[in-house]
Amino acid sequence: MRKTGRYADEPLLLPIDIDPEPIEERLTAWGGAVLLIQSVRSLDVPGSSKRNIQLKQRQRGYSEAEYVESLIVLHALGGDCVDDLERLREDGGLAELLGYEVPSPEAARKFLNQFHDEALVSEAQQQAAYRQMVVTGTQLMTAR
């Protein structure tokens, strides 16, 4: 036996109006970005970046704080590499939340390369080579 409710024959009407005109506000696909950016700024990460990182020679372009904030957002939103900044740049709503456009991957690379220390890189390579020799030597000794 089929049950019919009192509204069974009426069309389903939702209590919303659909406006066919496009909205003027920018939206973002990254819903959690609002809370993330608010948290980063509440913890004064931009202020700390300004106080502790002085890499720029000129006052043009992005500040150190904007680079740091953009890289935090990239990482938190699942970015695997600096090239993923391009996906964030395509989201106009995210730029509106931040108050600036996300830096390009190339600009972010240049910023990060300023932290590059050739002496530390060569030291790390030597340590890695030494560890590899130790592991290889241990494997040879256990194989006998």
Domain around 89: 33-139
Residue 88 covered by a domain: yes
Give residue 32's identity as a one-letter amino acid code.
G
Question: Does residue 124 lie within any of the structural domains?
Answer: yes
Question: Which single residue is written with the structure tokens 């953009």?
Answer: 70
Token match 């030494």: residue?
130
pLDDT per residue, tens digit, the chain (144 aa), is 555 555 556 666 667 777 788 777 777 878 888 889 999 999 999 889 889 888 776 677 899 999 999 999 999 999 999 999 999 999 888 998 899 999 999 999 999 988 888 888 889 889 988 888 877 766 555 655
Residue 64 CB partners (closer than 8 Å, separation 6+): 49, 50, 53, 54, 55, 56, 111
Instruction: Indicate whether 144 belongs to any domain.
Output: no
Residue 129 lies in a domain: yes
- Position 87 scores a pLDDT of 93
Asked if residue 119 belongs to a domain, the reply is yes
In a domain, 78, yes or no: yes
At 18, list the tokens: 């659909």
Q: Which residue reads 């036996």 in tokens? A: 1
Classify residue 25: in a domain, yes or no. Answer: no
When divided into structural domains, the chain yields a total of 1
Q: Within a domain: residue 22?
A: no
